[in-house]
Amino acid sequence: MRVTVGLVVNPAAARDVRRLTSLARTVDLHERVNIVARVLRGLAAAGVDEVRFMPEPCQVVERAWTSLTGNVPSAGRTPSLRPIPSPGPAVDSQGTVTAAAWLAEAGMPCVVTVGGDGTNRAVALGWPDVVFAPLPAGTNNAFAPPVDPTVVGLAAGLFARDDARHGAHAQVVPYLAVDVDGIPHTRALVDVAVVDGAWAGAHALWEPGLLVEAVVTRTDPTVTGLAGVAGMLDPGGGCRAIRLRFGPGTDVLAPLGPGHLAVLPVSRWEAIAAGEEVVVGGGRMTLAFDGERETVLQPGQRASIRLVDEGPTVIDAAALVRQAASDGLFRQQPGHGPWHGRRPSDDDESEA
């Protein structure tokens, strides 16, 4: 059985104006290549045969392959790499959307993503039922917990080989469906914010004074961005969706961005149930999705934001690998040669 996994790398993540407005790290090309190289090693060790990847102008995946197949001290396998067919390299988020749609069509068991919240959003737009193994390589990474890429690769590979066994560690997450004037417009995985002003500009959100309201799918005080703001208000909520309205009321100290702690006045917040619609509009405003300003609403336009329970699936790499370790999948008898992710049924003996 030939096991294939999808790989989407966003070469442009972690490079925008938040380098200036906050203490956001820069993930330069070298680091990105390194991350992908580690993923490929993990995938190979888990027994993945092939990786179908989205071509992009910086050729991060190709460079990672070169670095692995050159003279590297710890020689190891790498899966074979094949770009997905496309008219050209993906140069923007639409390219990511298209690539994700192709991976959906091709029936990939899962997709490893290297980018930030915006990257994952684009993948989910192209493939609403995608199974993700996300890596935090963007500015805000509310969606992707910090796990070493090597382990994410391992987890994704194990899942791809045996999703029945490991499926317990892949959770369906909700998303926000956004319609504008009754027409489906886009989706967001983490948050939709309503912002004063009518410009996408430098896209990122960093001026707290511009926030009008937000709907957030997760509350997590340990991450930066609006999910972190929600988490400061309702830390026990886990993945509970929340609607926030900004204005005089309660002042909340929260990390709006990396190193960027702001005091935000929150006038109201309430839990949002699936199917519930939040309607915004009336004046001229900008909608931001997963931390990036994008859509301008003119006066008279209405946008509705609806929480949908059944969105993409996210592999919890940490939990999956923990379970696999405790099941003895990573232990082998001495003398059995290089481990290559044998399934339990392949084992000669169970754990000693």
Instruction: Read off the tokens for 78.
Output: 């790498």
211 touches 230 (CB < 8 A): no
Within 32-71, which residues bind other proteins (CB under 8 A)? Answer: 57-58
Rounded distance between C-alpha atoms, residue 105 and residue 99, angstroms: 10
How many CB atoms within 10 Å of residue 114? 27
What is d(CA 53, CA 107) in angstroms, rounded to the nearest whole number?
Answer: 14
- Find the binder of other proteins among 197, 221, 237, 265 (CB under 8 A): 197
And the tokens for 177? 């469906």
CB of 242 to other proteins, least distance (A): 25
Residues in the chain, how many?
352
Contacts of other proteins in 230-289 (CB under 8 A): 284
Binding mask 209-238 for other proteins (x = CB under 8 A): -x----------------------------
Within 322-341, the residues that bind other proteins by CB under 8 A are none
**How far apart are CB 71 and other proteins at their closest, in Å?**
20
**Pick from 181, 207, 310, 327: which binds other proteins (CB under 8 A)?**
207
Q: Which is nearer to other proteins, 296 or 318 (CB)?
A: 296
**Contact pick of 201, 235, 282, 300 for other proteins (by CB under 8 A):** 201
Select 210 or 318, whichever has its Cβ closest to other proteins: 210
CA–CA separation, 224 vs 227, rounded Å? 7
Amino acid at residue number 111: V
Task: Quote the least distance from Cβ 15 to other proteins, whole Å.
Answer: 4
Which conformational region is residue 316 in: left (phi greater than 0), alpha (psi within -120 to 50 degrees), or beta? beta
Contact status: 181 vs other proteins (CB under 8 A): no
Identity of the residue, 34 or 332, whose beta carbon is nearer to other proteins in the bound complex: 34
Selected from 101, 180, 202, 262, the binder of other proteins by CB under 8 A is 202
Alpha carbons 208 and 201: distance in angstroms, whole number: 15
- CA 96 from chain centre, in angstroms, equals 13
Amino acid making up residue 262? A
Residues that bind other proteins (CB under 8 A): 11-12, 15-21, 26, 28-29, 57-58, 196-203, 207, 210, 284, 296, 298
